[in-house]
Structure formats: structure tokens, C-alpha cells
Amino acid sequence: MSLITPDFGLLFWMTLIFAIVFFILARFGFPLITGMVKKRSDRIEKSLRDAEEAQKTLKQLAEEHKRMIEEARKEQARILNEAATAGDKIVQEAKEQAREQTAAMIEKAREEIRIEQETARREIAGEVATLSVEVAEKLIRGHLDSDQRQNALIDKLIEEARAAHKPVS
């Protein structure tokens, strides 16, 4: 027996054992191996589909997140704009109220000044009248120091009163 050329019996038995092993493998092993490979392939495909769905979901979530951030920025800008407008309005109202109060205070001060002026005029007029009467009294006393002058003045006043009350004919 040589190593390079095997005997016919050895070849027969080797072929028969190979056929039996191949039959057993084909009958029991290959379907099991193919089933496992098929399951593995299905699991890999399912994982790929899940990964694609997860990637799509992540992409949608990223877009949703971006959209929400944009909406938040718009809302923030709107709120800031409203706050600025409200602040301007409050300042404007405060200025207007201050103007109105100032105008009312000025008007009240003017009225008080007018009243004070009128009171001062009355007091001055009273003082002038009093002084005039005192001066006139002193002049008349000095001028009417004698009885003769007093009687002449009384006669003159009576004549003037009669002349004023006489009917014109």
C-alpha cells in the first residue's frame, strides 16, 4: 500500500463513510446549521431594520427638538417684545400722569397766587382807605379848628344837597 495510491477497498470504505456522514449531516446537521444561519440572518436583518427605524426616530426627534427650540426662541422674542412694549407703555403712562399732576399743581398754584393777590389787593385797598380817612380827618380838623369854619362848611354842604335834589324846571 502506498501513500499516493490508495487501495480500492480503502477508497470504497472512505466513500461509504463519507456518504453516511454526508447523509447524516444532510439529514440532521445541514438543516440545523441552515436554520441557525437563517435565524441569525433574520436577527441581523431585524436589527438592521430596528437600527434604521431608530435612526429615523432619532432624526425625527432631532427635527422636533430643533422645531421646539425655534418655537421657544420665537416665544422668547415675543415675550421680550411684549415686555418692552408694556415697559414703554408704563413709562409713557407714568410720564403722562406726571404731566397731568404737574399741570394740576401749576393750576392750583396759579389759583392760590390769584387768591393771594386778590386778598393782598383788598388789604391794600382797606389800608389805603383807612389812611385816606385818617389823612382827611387830620386835614379837616386842621382846617375846621374854629366854630365859624365848621358852620360855614355845614351850610355849604346843605346847599349842595338841596341843589342836588332840586327838580329841574
pLDDT in tens, 115-168: 999 999 999 888 888 888 777 777 777 666 677 877 887 888 788 888 877 765
pLDDT in the model for residue 169: 53
What pLDDT is attached to residue 146? 73
Do the beta carbons of residue 148 and residue 156 sit within 8 Å?
A: no
Reply yes or no on whether the pLDDT at 39 is more than 90.
yes
Is the CB of residue 143 less than 8 Å from the CB of residue 149?
A: yes
Its pTM stands at: 0.41
At residue 45, does pLDDT exceed 70? yes
CA–CA distance, 36 with 42 (Å, rounded to integer): 10
* Residue 79 confidence (pLDDT): 94
Per-residue pLDDT at 85 exceeds 60: yes
| pLDDT score of 2 | 66
pLDDT of amino acid 53: 94
Whole-number Å distance between alpha carbons of 60 and 79: 28
In the chain, % of residues over pLDDT 70 = 93
CB-CB neighbours of 28 under 10 Å: 10
Q: Could you tell me the pLDDT band of residue 24, with boundaries at 50, 70 and 90?
A: very high
Nearest-angstrom CA–CA distance, 59 and 153: 125
